[in-house]
Structure 1
Amino acid sequence: MALLKRELYRHVTGPEVTHADRCTLIFDTDAKKLYVEREVADFDASVVGTIQIQSSTMDIADYLKQGGQTAGHRELWRLLQTIFKEDNNSEEM
């Protein structure tokens, strides 16, 4: 299975308790499916290096309907606008 990936957003905080949040746009070339994957990881160095990772997938519409406008939302909107940008110099078929 070939997955094409484009990172939309990454945010990391730390140092004692590190929190990482990443959203990635993924196209599964075999299933012909386009979706967003979100991974959230928390690492607590004070509790013998405890790490907790959560991963979820959602379709693009559900991702864009989430509350707030994150950097990931803005990057996805920018990519979509680039894909669907009309070329004013081309003639219609």
Structure 2
Amino acid sequence: MAFLKRELHRQVSGPEITHEDRCSLVFDTDSKSLYVLREVAHLETGLGGSVEYQTATMDIADYLTQGGQTAGHRELWRLLRALFNEDGDNSDSECGILLRRTSSQPSADEPRT
């Protein structure tokens, strides 16, 4: 099982009570699924300290529509814009070629109907 991960956001507070909240974009190469993984760790360093660790997965759309605009949201939007080349210059991208073909006349190697 292989996972490709890209950290979107990490927030750490401490030192006596350490709290870490991290969100990552994950692609599971076996199941071919893309999702956001949220990991939360809470560590109390005092005598008899405790450790709590929770993980949750969520759909990308669910992550983007949850409350607030965090640094993680902004990073995911940046990645999505880069993926779909929203800069307006998609002349060299495969995606841009495909989009132009589906919205214009068939190319020479496509049958005309």
- Give the equivalent residue in structure 2 for 1:20: 20
Q: Which runs of 4+ in 1 moved over 4 A?
A: none
State the alpha-carbon separation in 1 of the partners of residues 34 and 28 from structure 2: 6
Structure 1 CA distance for aligned equivalents of residues 89 and 71 of structure 2: 29
Superposed CA offset, 1:21-80 (max 9, x none): 000100001111000000111101124231101110001000001000011000000000
Distance 1:70 1:89, change over 3 A: closer
Equivalent residue, structure 1, for 2:66: 66
Q: Which has the higher contact order (CA 8 A, sep 6+)?
A: 1
Q: Which amino acid aligns with 2:35?
A: Y
Q: 1:10 and 1:89, CA in 2 relative to 1: closer, same or farther beyond 3 A?
A: closer
Instruction: Tell me which protein shows more helix as a share of its residues.
Output: 2
Q: Which runs of no fewer than 5 residues in structure 1 stay unpaired?
A: none
Return 5+ residue gaps in structure 2 as ranges. 92-96, 102-113
Counterpart position of 1:52: 52
Q: Tell me which structure has the larger Cα radius of gyration.
A: 2
Instruction: Give the alignment's Cα RMSD to 1 decimal.
Output: 1.5
* Match in the other structure for 1:88: 89
Structure with greater proportional strand content: 1
Distance 1:58 1:79 in 2: 17
Aligned CA distance change for structure 1 residues 37 and 74 (closer, same or farther; 3 Å): same
The aligned length equals: 93
Query: Match for 1:58: what amino acid?
Result: M
The residue type paired with residue 37 of structure 2 is: E
